[in-house]
Each structure stands twice: as C-alpha cells, then as structure tokens.
Amino acid sequence: MAKATCARHDSWWRRHLPTMITVALLLVVWQVWVSLAHVSETMISSPVQIVQAIVTSWPTLWPATWVTLYEGVIGFLLACALGVLLGIGIHCSRTAYAALFPLLAAAQTLPLISIAPLFLIWFGFEPIGKIVLVAIFALFPIAVQTMRGLQAVPQFYDDVAMTCGASRSWTLFHVDLRVAARQIFGGMRVSGAYVFATAATAEYLGARQGLGIWLQAAYNSFRTPLIFAATVVIIIMTALLLSCVHLAERCLIGTPADDADPDADE
C-alpha cells in the first residue's frame, strides 16, 4: 500500500512539476521585465501589482465574482444534463439527428455579441439570461461527445448484455453510457473551459452585476491592474471547475488506468 501511494505521488509530480516550473519562470520574467523596463501600469501590470489589486479590491471584487460563478455553474450544470440527453437522443434516433444536430452546430457559429442583446431584451439584466447563454454555448461539445462516445461503443457489449436478457434501454444506460463516459467527460472539460468567460462576456454586454460589469468599469477608468485581477479570478474559477469535473470522473468511473485490460500484457 505504501509503495502504491509513493508511486501515485511520484506520478503526480512528474505530470505537474514541469507546468509549475514553467508558470513560475514566466511570472518571474514578467515581473523582472515590467520592473526593469519601467512599463507604465496602465499599459501592463506586473504580477505583484495584480495580486495587490486583487487584495485591495476584494470587498467589491468578491460580489461580482459570486454572480459570475453562480451564472457559470448553473449554466454548466444545465448544459451537462441537456447535452447528455441530447447526445443520447441523437444517437438513438436518426430523425433526432437530422432535426437537432444541424441546429446545435449552427448555434455554435453565432457570435455571442450578436445574440446577447436579444437575451438582454428577452430577460433584461437578470442572471437568468446569462445562465441560458452559458448553457447554449456549453451544450454542443457535451452533446457531440456523448453521441460520438455512444457510437464508438463496440457492438459486442450490447450483444452480450442482450443475450443475458437485458433490454435495449437497460443496456443503453448501464452499459453503453458507462463505456462512453470517458468521452462524455471529455466534452464536459471542453465546455467547462469557457463557461465563465462566456458569462463574463455576456455581463459585459448588459448586466447589473458580475465580472463583466467589473471589467467594463475597470476599462472605462483605465485601471489595468483591475482588468488583470478579474482575468485571474476567471482563470482560477475555470481551473476549479475543471478540477471538479476531473474529481467527478474519478469518483464515478475511476482513472484511465482502470480501463486497461489486465490481461493485455499476458
């Protein structure tokens, strides 16, 4: 047990240490360049100035962060539920594929700046409009990966299950979705990477609160450190969301190593 734990720790460090070192070096180079070149704060802020801006503005930054966090998380959860259901429907029905897939693809080609004003007219400045926008833009990768994951399930899985007396619906939900789950979680990662940026952009175009309004106020007053501060907060929220997706994947279906055939090396 101790050896297995040590091996997992060593593997974790091998995967993440290069990234940590690269980020640290970039921050050091960034800080040194801004300091030695005497770059104006309004042009680009140093990492130290950004951290100071986050600390000093936190009493007002946190309420804005909470609004965007709420909109992004709720929109993402809706996208996950609807995306999986749509993916299943598209996989099971050619009619559903012909009717819905082109609409899903077309929805991804619409620029946010062109449809956000419509949602502003329909929902006003309330968060519900931003939640719907986030769900719409996060829906497509999840639905597509669900459909492709189900299509990639080898036929013999279904044959074995139904030979043992399982119905098609039982096989779909207990066998096919389990086999396709890894790919479905991949679609969730793709969607989760930009839900908070989508929410903040929608807020920027029209809202009462949120990081989008915060960014707009910082831009209008030429306070560059505050712009970077909001950007850092969005990056942190995105990283936390992706970590939650990763944790959910590990809890539900284990690690990719668990999918390996134990007899493959024999």
- Within 10 angstroms of residue 182's Cβ, the number of other Cβ atoms is 15
Question: What is the spatial distance between Cα 216 and Cα 179, in angstroms, rounded to a whole number?
Answer: 45
* Residues 216-264 pLDDT 10s: 888 888 888 899 999 999 999 999 999 999 999 988 887 766 665 544 4
147 has a pLDDT exceeding 80: yes
Domain ranges in the chain are 13-44, 46-255
- 110-146: buried (b, 16+ CB within 10 Å) or exposed (e) per residue? eebeebbeebbeebeeebebbbbbbbbbbbbbbbbbb
The architecture of the domain spanning 46-255 is: Orthogonal Bundle (1.10)
166 has a pLDDT exceeding 80: no
- Within 10 angstroms of residue 224's Cβ, the number of other Cβ atoms is 19
3-state secondary structure of 7: helix
Query: pLDDT tier at 5 (50, 70, 90 boundaries)?
Result: low
Q: Which two tokens stand for residue 109?
A: 């080609």
* pLDDT score for 8: 58
When mean pLDDT is compared across 4-8, 55-59, 135-139, 243-247, the lowest value belongs to 4-8
Query: pLDDT tier at 266 (50, 70, 90 boundaries)?
Result: very low
* Residues 23-42 pLDDT 10s: 889 888 888 888 888 877 77
pTM over 0.95: no
Question: What is the spatial distance between Cα 185 and Cα 81, in angstroms, rounded to a whole number?
Answer: 12
* pLDDT score for 9: 58
Least Cα distance to 201 among 240, 222, 230, 224 occurs for 230
104 has a pLDDT exceeding 80: no
When mean pLDDT is compared across 47-51, 94-98, 128-132, 134-138, the lowest value belongs to 94-98
Mean pLDDT score across all residues of the chain: 84
User: CB–CB of 153/180 below 8 Å?
Assistant: yes
* Burial group, residue 175, by CB count within 10 angstroms (0-12, 13-18, 19+): middle
Cα angle for residues 41, 44, 45 (degrees, 5° grid): 65
Cα angle for residues 203, 208, 212 (degrees, 5° grid): 30
Radius of gyration of the chain (CA): 23
